[in-house]
Structure 1
Amino acid sequence: MRSPDPQHRSTRTLILDAAEQLFAANGFDATATAAIAAAAGVPKGLIFYYFPTKDAILSALIAERVPAQSLPDLASVVRPGDPATSLMNLDAALNLRGQRSSVLRVILWREADGHPDVRAQLRRLRDQLLDVTARVLQASTPGPVAPGTLRDCAAAWVSALFSIVTTDRLRALDGLAGPGTDEIGTVSRVVAAALSHLTEPLPHPIR
Protein backbone atom coordinates (compact mmCIF):
# COMPACT_ATOMS: atom_id res chain seq x y z
CA MET A 1 0.00 0.00 0.00
CA ARG A 2 1.43 3.37 -1.04
CA SER A 3 1.92 6.04 1.58
CA PRO A 4 -0.07 9.27 1.12
CA ASP A 5 1.42 11.77 -1.30
CA PRO A 6 3.57 14.24 0.70
CA GLN A 7 2.06 17.22 -1.12
CA HIS A 8 -1.45 15.97 -0.33
CA ARG A 9 -0.51 15.55 3.32
CA SER A 10 1.17 18.95 3.44
CA THR A 11 -1.77 20.82 1.88
CA ARG A 12 -4.30 19.10 4.09
CA THR A 13 -2.20 19.90 7.15
CA LEU A 14 -1.93 23.55 6.12
CA ILE A 15 -5.72 23.74 5.89
CA LEU A 16 -6.21 22.11 9.29
CA ASP A 17 -3.56 24.33 10.87
CA ALA A 18 -5.26 27.45 9.54
CA ALA A 19 -8.72 26.24 10.58
CA GLU A 20 -7.53 25.38 14.08
CA GLN A 21 -6.05 28.84 14.56
CA LEU A 22 -9.12 30.65 13.22
CA PHE A 23 -11.72 28.48 14.98
CA ALA A 24 -9.88 29.01 18.28
CA ALA A 25 -9.57 32.76 17.78
CA ASN A 26 -12.95 33.60 16.24
CA GLY A 27 -15.23 30.59 16.63
CA PHE A 28 -16.51 28.18 14.00
CA ASP A 29 -19.53 30.19 12.88
CA ALA A 30 -17.55 33.42 12.50
CA THR A 31 -14.85 31.80 10.36
CA ALA A 32 -15.49 31.82 6.63
CA THR A 33 -14.05 29.13 4.38
CA ALA A 34 -12.39 31.89 2.36
CA ALA A 35 -10.56 33.01 5.50
CA ILE A 36 -9.27 29.48 6.07
CA ALA A 37 -8.04 29.33 2.46
CA ALA A 38 -6.32 32.71 2.81
CA ALA A 39 -4.64 31.73 6.07
CA ALA A 40 -3.52 28.41 4.58
CA GLY A 41 -2.29 30.08 1.40
CA VAL A 42 -4.35 27.86 -0.88
CA PRO A 43 -7.18 28.52 -3.36
CA LYS A 44 -10.65 28.35 -1.81
CA GLY A 45 -11.64 25.57 -4.23
CA LEU A 46 -8.84 23.40 -2.88
CA ILE A 47 -10.45 23.44 0.57
CA PHE A 48 -13.42 21.52 -0.84
CA TYR A 49 -11.14 19.01 -2.55
CA TYR A 50 -10.01 17.85 0.90
CA PHE A 51 -13.11 18.68 2.94
CA PRO A 52 -16.62 18.71 1.40
CA THR A 53 -17.94 21.14 4.02
CA LYS A 54 -16.67 23.42 6.77
CA ASP A 55 -18.22 21.01 9.26
CA ALA A 56 -15.97 18.30 7.85
CA ILE A 57 -12.94 20.43 8.73
CA LEU A 58 -14.13 20.74 12.32
CA SER A 59 -14.83 17.00 12.50
CA ALA A 60 -11.31 16.25 11.26
CA LEU A 61 -9.79 18.57 13.85
CA ILE A 62 -11.74 16.92 16.66
CA ALA A 63 -10.98 13.39 15.44
CA GLU A 64 -7.29 13.97 14.78
CA ARG A 65 -6.13 16.71 17.13
CA VAL A 66 -7.72 16.15 20.50
CA PRO A 67 -4.72 14.76 22.38
CA ALA A 68 -5.30 11.29 23.76
CA GLN A 69 -5.62 11.48 27.51
CA SER A 70 -2.83 9.41 29.00
CA LEU A 71 -4.56 8.15 32.12
CA PRO A 72 -2.08 7.81 34.96
CA ASP A 73 -1.22 4.61 36.74
CA LEU A 74 -3.22 4.59 39.98
CA ALA A 75 -0.14 3.99 42.09
CA SER A 76 1.31 7.28 40.88
CA VAL A 77 -1.60 9.39 42.15
CA VAL A 78 -3.33 7.48 44.95
CA ARG A 79 -2.51 8.37 48.54
CA PRO A 80 -4.18 5.67 50.67
CA GLY A 81 -6.60 7.11 53.18
CA ASP A 82 -6.48 10.59 51.61
CA PRO A 83 -9.00 11.00 48.74
CA ALA A 84 -8.61 14.80 48.60
CA THR A 85 -4.85 14.65 47.96
CA SER A 86 -5.38 11.76 45.55
CA LEU A 87 -7.80 13.87 43.51
CA MET A 88 -5.34 16.76 43.51
CA ASN A 89 -2.64 14.38 42.28
CA LEU A 90 -4.99 13.15 39.56
CA ASP A 91 -5.68 16.71 38.41
CA ALA A 92 -1.93 17.39 38.20
CA ALA A 93 -1.30 14.15 36.30
CA LEU A 94 -4.08 14.80 33.77
CA ASN A 95 -3.04 18.45 33.32
CA LEU A 96 -6.33 19.09 31.56
CA ARG A 97 -6.19 22.81 32.37
CA GLY A 98 -2.62 23.17 31.14
CA GLN A 99 -3.09 21.65 27.70
CA ARG A 100 -1.53 23.69 24.91
CA SER A 101 -3.68 22.14 22.19
CA SER A 102 -6.16 24.80 21.13
CA VAL A 103 -8.50 22.06 19.92
CA LEU A 104 -8.74 20.63 23.43
CA ARG A 105 -8.30 23.90 25.33
CA VAL A 106 -10.74 26.06 23.33
CA ILE A 107 -12.52 24.51 20.35
CA LEU A 108 -13.85 21.36 22.03
CA TRP A 109 -15.64 23.36 24.74
CA ARG A 110 -16.83 26.22 22.56
CA GLU A 111 -18.32 24.17 19.73
CA ALA A 112 -19.90 21.26 21.65
CA ASP A 113 -23.36 22.85 21.69
CA GLY A 114 -23.78 22.96 17.94
CA HIS A 115 -21.85 19.96 16.60
CA PRO A 116 -22.62 16.28 17.32
CA ASP A 117 -19.04 15.13 16.59
CA VAL A 118 -17.67 17.55 19.14
CA ARG A 119 -20.24 16.51 21.75
CA ALA A 120 -19.40 12.85 21.17
CA GLN A 121 -15.70 13.53 21.73
CA LEU A 122 -16.48 15.49 24.89
CA ARG A 123 -18.63 12.61 26.17
CA ARG A 124 -15.80 10.15 25.53
CA LEU A 125 -13.42 12.36 27.46
CA ARG A 126 -15.90 12.66 30.34
CA ASP A 127 -16.44 8.87 30.44
CA GLN A 128 -12.67 8.31 30.62
CA LEU A 129 -12.32 10.78 33.47
CA LEU A 130 -15.31 9.36 35.35
CA ASP A 131 -13.80 5.88 35.21
CA VAL A 132 -10.33 6.85 36.41
CA THR A 133 -11.72 9.19 39.10
CA ALA A 134 -13.96 6.46 40.53
CA ARG A 135 -10.99 4.09 40.64
CA VAL A 136 -8.83 6.70 42.38
CA LEU A 137 -11.53 7.33 44.97
CA GLN A 138 -12.06 3.64 45.56
CA ALA A 139 -8.32 3.06 46.04
CA SER A 140 -7.81 6.03 48.37
CA THR A 141 -10.90 5.87 50.58
CA PRO A 142 -10.60 3.95 53.86
CA GLY A 143 -13.48 1.54 54.14
CA PRO A 144 -15.93 0.16 51.58
CA VAL A 145 -18.07 2.49 49.49
CA ALA A 146 -21.14 1.57 47.47
CA PRO A 147 -20.42 1.67 43.71
CA GLY A 148 -23.22 4.19 43.15
CA THR A 149 -21.72 6.51 45.75
CA LEU A 150 -18.30 6.28 44.12
CA ARG A 151 -19.80 7.10 40.75
CA ASP A 152 -21.76 10.05 42.13
CA CYS A 153 -18.71 11.52 43.86
CA ALA A 154 -16.59 10.97 40.74
CA ALA A 155 -19.27 12.69 38.63
CA ALA A 156 -19.31 15.68 40.98
CA TRP A 157 -15.52 16.06 40.76
CA VAL A 158 -15.38 15.66 36.97
CA SER A 159 -18.24 18.14 36.49
CA ALA A 160 -16.42 20.65 38.68
CA LEU A 161 -13.17 20.06 36.76
CA PHE A 162 -14.95 20.68 33.44
CA SER A 163 -16.49 23.87 34.84
CA ILE A 164 -13.08 25.09 36.01
CA VAL A 165 -11.54 24.30 32.60
CA THR A 166 -14.26 26.36 30.91
CA THR A 167 -13.78 29.23 33.35
CA ASP A 168 -10.03 29.12 32.78
CA ARG A 169 -10.66 29.42 29.04
CA LEU A 170 -12.83 32.51 29.54
CA ARG A 171 -10.19 34.05 31.81
CA ALA A 172 -7.56 33.40 29.15
CA LEU A 173 -9.71 35.08 26.49
CA ASP A 174 -9.94 38.17 28.71
CA GLY A 175 -6.22 38.11 29.53
CA LEU A 176 -6.82 37.31 33.19
CA ALA A 177 -4.75 35.00 35.35
CA GLY A 178 -6.19 31.61 36.25
CA PRO A 179 -7.02 30.56 39.81
CA GLY A 180 -4.19 28.04 40.09
CA THR A 181 -4.92 24.89 42.06
CA ASP A 182 -6.97 26.52 44.84
CA GLU A 183 -10.33 25.97 43.18
CA ILE A 184 -9.80 22.29 42.31
CA GLY A 185 -8.31 21.78 45.78
CA THR A 186 -11.49 23.09 47.40
CA VAL A 187 -13.66 20.81 45.25
CA SER A 188 -11.41 17.83 46.03
CA ARG A 189 -11.79 18.41 49.77
CA VAL A 190 -15.58 18.77 49.49
CA VAL A 191 -15.86 15.52 47.51
CA ALA A 192 -13.57 13.75 49.99
CA ALA A 193 -15.66 15.00 52.91
CA ALA A 194 -18.87 13.77 51.28
CA LEU A 195 -17.26 10.42 50.55
CA SER A 196 -16.05 10.10 54.13
CA HIS A 197 -19.57 10.80 55.38
CA LEU A 198 -20.99 8.11 53.10
CA THR A 199 -18.30 5.49 53.68
CA GLU A 200 -19.50 2.40 55.47
CA PRO A 201 -17.52 1.68 58.65
CA LEU A 202 -15.51 -1.51 58.59
CA PRO A 203 -17.26 -4.23 60.62
CA HIS A 204 -15.72 -5.24 63.92
CA PRO A 205 -14.48 -8.81 63.92
CA ILE A 206 -16.61 -11.27 65.88
CA ARG A 207 -14.79 -12.44 68.98
Structure 2
Amino acid sequence: MAPVHDTAHARNRILDAAERLFARHGFDGTSTAHLARAAGVPKGLLFYYFPTKPDILTTLLDERLTAAAWEPGPLVVAGDPVRTLLNLADRVRSDRDASGVLRDVIWHEARIRPEVRAVLSRYRHSLHDAITSALRASVPAVVEGRALHAAAAAWAAIITARPLDPPPHAGTGDRPVDATSLQSVARLLSAGLLSTATTT
Protein backbone atom coordinates (compact mmCIF):
# COMPACT_ATOMS: atom_id res chain seq x y z
CA MET A 1 0.00 0.00 0.00
CA ALA A 2 1.38 3.41 -0.95
CA PRO A 3 2.16 5.81 1.90
CA VAL A 4 -0.44 8.42 2.58
CA HIS A 5 1.03 11.93 2.55
CA ASP A 6 -1.86 13.73 4.24
CA THR A 7 0.09 16.06 6.52
CA ALA A 8 -3.07 17.13 8.38
CA HIS A 9 -3.18 13.69 10.02
CA ALA A 10 0.47 12.68 9.72
CA ARG A 11 1.41 13.75 13.23
CA ASN A 12 -1.31 11.62 14.82
CA ARG A 13 -0.40 8.66 12.59
CA ILE A 14 3.20 8.95 13.75
CA LEU A 15 2.11 8.93 17.41
CA ASP A 16 -0.28 6.02 16.81
CA ALA A 17 2.50 4.03 15.14
CA ALA A 18 4.92 4.94 17.94
CA GLU A 19 2.45 3.70 20.54
CA ARG A 20 2.12 0.34 18.77
CA LEU A 21 5.81 -0.14 17.98
CA PHE A 22 7.24 1.09 21.28
CA ALA A 23 4.81 -1.23 23.09
CA ARG A 24 5.87 -4.20 20.95
CA HIS A 25 9.61 -3.59 20.42
CA GLY A 26 10.54 -0.95 23.00
CA PHE A 27 11.92 2.50 22.26
CA ASP A 28 15.44 1.31 21.47
CA GLY A 29 14.14 -1.56 19.35
CA THR A 30 12.16 0.74 17.04
CA SER A 31 14.05 2.57 14.32
CA THR A 32 12.82 5.87 12.90
CA ALA A 33 12.75 4.23 9.45
CA HIS A 34 10.42 1.50 10.75
CA LEU A 35 8.31 4.12 12.49
CA ALA A 36 7.99 6.23 9.34
CA ARG A 37 6.98 3.15 7.30
CA ALA A 38 4.38 2.10 9.89
CA ALA A 39 2.93 5.63 9.95
CA GLY A 40 2.91 5.84 6.14
CA VAL A 41 4.94 9.06 6.06
CA PRO A 42 8.30 10.05 4.58
CA LYS A 43 11.12 10.00 7.12
CA GLY A 44 11.68 13.73 6.55
CA LEU A 45 8.10 14.48 7.61
CA LEU A 46 8.60 12.46 10.79
CA PHE A 47 11.61 14.65 11.65
CA TYR A 48 9.66 17.77 10.71
CA TYR A 49 7.18 17.05 13.51
CA PHE A 50 9.67 15.43 15.89
CA PRO A 51 13.29 16.60 15.46
CA THR A 52 14.64 13.71 17.56
CA LYS A 53 13.41 10.22 18.37
CA PRO A 54 13.16 11.00 22.13
CA ASP A 55 10.82 13.88 21.17
CA ILE A 56 8.40 11.28 19.82
CA LEU A 57 8.45 9.35 23.10
CA THR A 58 8.01 12.36 25.38
CA THR A 59 5.23 13.82 23.19
CA LEU A 60 3.47 10.45 23.09
CA LEU A 61 3.56 10.11 26.87
CA ASP A 62 2.63 13.71 27.64
CA GLU A 63 -0.28 13.83 25.18
CA ARG A 64 -1.70 10.36 25.67
CA LEU A 65 -1.49 10.40 29.45
CA THR A 66 -2.99 13.88 29.56
CA ALA A 67 -5.82 12.54 27.41
CA ALA A 68 -6.24 9.71 29.92
CA ALA A 69 -6.97 12.20 32.72
CA TRP A 70 -10.62 12.12 33.73
CA GLU A 71 -13.16 13.63 36.07
CA PRO A 72 -13.81 11.25 39.00
CA GLY A 73 -17.26 12.69 39.81
CA PRO A 74 -19.34 10.19 37.81
CA LEU A 75 -17.56 7.31 39.58
CA VAL A 76 -18.51 8.49 43.07
CA VAL A 77 -21.25 6.61 44.92
CA ALA A 78 -22.32 8.85 47.81
CA GLY A 79 -22.12 7.04 51.13
CA ASP A 80 -20.27 4.07 49.63
CA PRO A 81 -16.49 4.53 49.54
CA VAL A 82 -15.93 0.83 48.76
CA ARG A 83 -18.00 0.97 45.57
CA THR A 84 -16.34 4.28 44.70
CA LEU A 85 -12.86 2.75 45.03
CA LEU A 86 -13.88 -0.21 42.88
CA ASN A 87 -15.33 2.12 40.25
CA LEU A 88 -12.02 4.01 40.18
CA ALA A 89 -10.12 0.74 39.80
CA ASP A 90 -12.37 -0.33 36.91
CA ARG A 91 -11.78 2.98 35.15
CA VAL A 92 -7.99 2.81 35.53
CA ARG A 93 -7.99 -0.82 34.36
CA SER A 94 -10.15 0.05 31.36
CA ASP A 95 -7.85 2.93 30.42
CA ARG A 96 -4.81 0.68 30.77
CA ASP A 97 -6.30 -2.11 28.67
CA ALA A 98 -7.20 0.38 25.92
CA SER A 99 -3.86 2.20 25.86
CA GLY A 100 -0.51 0.88 24.73
CA VAL A 101 1.06 3.80 26.57
CA LEU A 102 -0.42 2.87 29.94
CA ARG A 103 -0.29 -0.90 29.38
CA ASP A 104 3.23 -1.29 28.04
CA VAL A 105 5.26 1.71 26.90
CA ILE A 106 5.54 3.66 30.12
CA TRP A 107 6.44 0.57 32.16
CA HIS A 108 9.12 -0.63 29.75
CA GLU A 109 10.81 2.73 29.43
CA ALA A 110 10.46 4.04 33.02
CA ARG A 111 13.16 1.61 34.14
CA ILE A 112 15.82 3.26 31.98
CA ARG A 113 14.60 6.76 31.07
CA PRO A 114 14.34 9.47 33.74
CA GLU A 115 12.04 11.60 31.56
CA VAL A 116 9.58 8.69 31.40
CA ARG A 117 9.76 8.24 35.16
CA ALA A 118 8.88 11.93 35.48
CA VAL A 119 5.81 11.48 33.27
CA LEU A 120 4.77 8.41 35.27
CA SER A 121 5.19 10.38 38.49
CA ARG A 122 2.91 13.15 37.14
CA TYR A 123 0.33 10.55 36.11
CA ARG A 124 0.35 8.97 39.57
CA HIS A 125 0.04 12.34 41.29
CA SER A 126 -2.92 13.18 39.08
CA LEU A 127 -4.48 9.81 39.87
CA HIS A 128 -3.88 10.32 43.60
CA ASP A 129 -5.68 13.68 43.42
CA ALA A 130 -8.63 12.10 41.59
CA ILE A 131 -8.91 9.29 44.15
CA THR A 132 -8.67 11.75 47.05
CA SER A 133 -11.44 13.86 45.55
CA ALA A 134 -13.66 10.83 44.90
CA LEU A 135 -13.13 9.41 48.38
CA ARG A 136 -13.87 12.73 50.04
CA ALA A 137 -17.16 12.92 48.11
CA SER A 138 -18.15 9.33 48.90
CA VAL A 139 -17.40 9.13 52.64
CA PRO A 140 -20.52 9.95 54.68
CA ALA A 141 -18.53 11.81 57.35
CA VAL A 142 -15.66 14.22 57.83
CA VAL A 143 -12.48 12.16 57.95
CA GLU A 144 -8.92 13.00 58.89
CA GLY A 145 -7.03 14.57 55.99
CA ARG A 146 -3.87 12.53 56.47
CA ALA A 147 -5.88 9.31 56.48
CA LEU A 148 -7.68 10.38 53.32
CA HIS A 149 -4.39 11.04 51.50
CA ALA A 150 -2.87 7.79 52.77
CA ALA A 151 -5.87 5.77 51.57
CA ALA A 152 -5.72 7.46 48.17
CA ALA A 153 -1.98 6.80 47.88
CA ALA A 154 -2.42 3.14 48.81
CA TRP A 155 -5.26 2.66 46.31
CA ALA A 156 -3.33 4.41 43.53
CA ALA A 157 -0.34 2.12 44.15
CA ILE A 158 -2.53 -0.99 44.16
CA ILE A 159 -4.49 -0.26 41.00
CA THR A 160 -1.47 0.84 38.96
CA ALA A 161 0.83 -2.01 40.04
CA ARG A 162 2.02 -4.37 37.34
CA PRO A 163 2.15 -8.10 38.08
CA LEU A 164 5.75 -9.30 38.41
CA ASP A 165 5.01 -12.83 37.26
CA PRO A 166 1.55 -13.24 35.70
CA PRO A 167 0.06 -16.69 36.25
CA PRO A 168 0.41 -19.11 33.30
CA HIS A 169 -3.30 -18.89 32.46
CA ALA A 170 -3.27 -15.07 32.33
CA GLY A 171 -4.06 -13.56 28.97
CA THR A 172 -4.29 -9.99 27.77
CA GLY A 173 -5.74 -7.65 30.34
CA ASP A 174 -4.43 -9.73 33.28
CA ARG A 175 -5.12 -8.13 36.63
CA PRO A 176 -2.47 -7.29 39.25
CA VAL A 177 -5.02 -8.11 41.96
CA ASP A 178 -8.06 -10.37 41.51
CA ALA A 179 -11.53 -8.89 41.98
CA THR A 180 -12.21 -10.54 45.35
CA SER A 181 -8.90 -9.39 46.83
CA LEU A 182 -9.44 -5.91 45.43
CA GLN A 183 -12.83 -5.69 47.10
CA SER A 184 -11.34 -6.86 50.42
CA VAL A 185 -8.61 -4.21 50.23
CA ALA A 186 -11.22 -1.54 49.38
CA ARG A 187 -13.23 -2.55 52.46
CA LEU A 188 -10.12 -2.43 54.62
CA LEU A 189 -9.18 1.05 53.40
CA SER A 190 -12.74 2.27 53.82
CA ALA A 191 -12.96 0.92 57.39
CA GLY A 192 -9.67 2.55 58.29
CA LEU A 193 -10.80 5.82 56.78
CA LEU A 194 -14.15 5.78 58.58
CA SER A 195 -12.40 5.05 61.88
CA THR A 196 -10.94 8.58 61.69
CA ALA A 197 -14.34 10.22 61.16
CA THR A 198 -15.22 13.07 63.45
CA THR A 199 -18.66 13.42 64.93
CA THR A 200 -20.55 16.69 64.65
TM, length-normalised to structure 1: 0.75
Q: Say whether residues 1:108 and 2:102 are aligned partners.
A: no
1:39 is matched by which residue type in structure 2? A
Partner in structure 1 of residue 71 of structure 2: 71
1:68 is matched by which residue type in structure 2? A
Alpha-carbon distance in 1 for matches of 2:173, 2:16 = 27
Q: Say whether residues 1:128 and 2:126 are aligned partners.
A: yes
Q: Determine if contact 2:76/2:137 at 8 Å carries over to the other structure.
A: no
Alpha-carbon distance in 2 for matches of 1:90, 1:10 = 33
- Judged with a 3 Å threshold, the aligned counterparts in structure 2 of structure 1 residues 8 and 43 are, in CA distance, closer, same or farther, namely closer
Structure 2 residues not aligned, in runs of 5+? none
Partner in structure 2 of residue 84 of structure 1: 82
Q: Determine if contact 2:17/2:35 at 8 Å carries over to the other structure.
A: yes
Between Structure 1 and Structure 2, how many residues are aligned? 190
Alpha-carbon distance in 2 for matches of 1:69, 1:63 = 11
Q: Say whether residues 1:97 and 2:96 are aligned partners.
A: no
Alpha-carbon distance in 2 for matches of 1:17, 1:91 = 26
Alpha-carbon distance in 1 for matches of 2:39, 2:121 = 31
Partner in structure 1 of residue 199 of structure 2: 202
Q: Say whether residues 1:32 and 2:31 are aligned partners.
A: yes
> How big is each residue's C-alpha offset from its partner over 1:146-188, in whole Å with a ceiling of 9 and x where there is no partner?
211111111111111111xx239x67xx735634633432321
- Judged with a 3 Å threshold, the aligned counterparts in structure 2 of structure 1 residues 142 and 63 are, in CA distance, closer, same or farther, namely closer
TM, length-normalised to structure 2: 0.77
Alpha-carbon distance in 2 for matches of 1:30, 1:65 = 21
Alpha-carbon distance in 1 for matches of 2:18, 2:188 = 40
- Judged with a 3 Å threshold, the aligned counterparts in structure 2 of structure 1 residues 51 and 201 are, in CA distance, closer, same or farther, namely closer
Computed over aligned residues only, the root mean square deviation of the Cα atoms, in angstroms, reads 3.0
- Judged with a 3 Å threshold, the aligned counterparts in structure 2 of structure 1 residues 177 and 12 are, in CA distance, closer, same or farther, namely closer
How far apart are residue 46 of structure 1 and its match? 4.0
2:69 is matched by which residue type in structure 1? Q
In our comparison, the structure showing a higher alpha carbon Rg is 1
How far apart are residue 143 of structure 1 and its match? 3.9
Superposed counterparts of 1:124-163, under 5 Å: 124-163=122-161
2:26 is matched by which residue type in structure 1? G
How far apart are residue 45 of structure 1 and its match? 4.2
1:202 is matched by which residue type in structure 2? T
Alpha-carbon distance in 2 for matches of 1:104, 1:158 = 14
Alpha-carbon distance in 1 for matches of 2:50, 2:172 = 36
Within the candidate set 171, 176, 181, 1:175 is matched to 171
Percent identity over the alignment is 42
